[in-house]
Amino acid sequence: MKRFKTRWAVAALALAATIGTVACSEDAGIEISDAWGRPSPSVATAGAFFMTITNNGAEDDALVAATSPACGTVELHESFMNEEGAMAMQPVPGGEITLPAGGSVVLEPGGLHVMCIDKLQDFTEGADLELTLRFQNADDTTFDVEIREP
């Protein structure tokens, strides 16, 4: 019974999401949703920001840089499993994350992330950390990243 209810809830959410997406798709430009970062101790000098970036425009774009008053430096990184079967991390190849026209790119644990190096503010649960993203074509966008468990 519980499973049945969950299924309906998921279906309802999917429907709502579809309607929501359709409703927003007329706005051109870049849309950021679900921006979050995991709480981490102050001795951890690096942190990561995750989010979904949707390019509603008709042209491909790219995330090329980021800045934040909460970080000494911000870089675009990706985690991946390397040929040794180990988890590896590196700055994104080419230094940018491509945002295809009409598509969404998900930055999530174990994949792409905006890396905050030399944290200047605490990543405590509930904190809102300001982040500015710079794109190849679209205007800069500044928003808050919520520090919370996923």
Give least dist CB 117 to other proteins, A: 4
- Judged by CB under 8 A, the residue of 84, 93, 126, 139 near other proteins is 84
Can you say whether the dihedral through the CA atoms of 132, 134, 140, 141 is positive or negative? negative
Question: Is 93 a binder of other proteins (CB under 8 A)?
Answer: no
37 neighbors 47 (Cβ within 8 angstroms): yes
Q: Which of residues 25-44 bind other proteins (CB under 8 A)?
A: 38-44
CB 55 within 8 A of CB 101: yes
Q: Which of 35, 62, 97, 116 binds other proteins (CB under 8 A)?
A: 116
- Tokens found for residue 4: 């049945």
Determine, following the binding rule CB under 8 A, whether residue 72 of this chain makes contact with other proteins: yes
CB-nearer residue toward other proteins: 24 or 44: 44
Sign of CA dihedral 58, 62, 63, 64: negative
Of 90, 94, 101, 102, the one binding other proteins (CB under 8 A) is 90
Nearest alpha-carbon partner for 42 in 128, 122, 116:
122
**What is the amino acid identity at position 34?**
D
In a 13 Å sphere around the CA of 105, the CA atoms on its Cβ side amount to 19
- Among 6, 21, 33, 73, the residue binding other proteins under the rule CB under 8 A is 73
Tell which one of 3, 4, 22, 149 touches other proteins (CB under 8 A): 149
Residues of this chain that bind other proteins (CB under 8 A)? 38-48, 72-73, 75, 77, 79, 81-82, 84-91, 109-110, 113, 115-118, 149
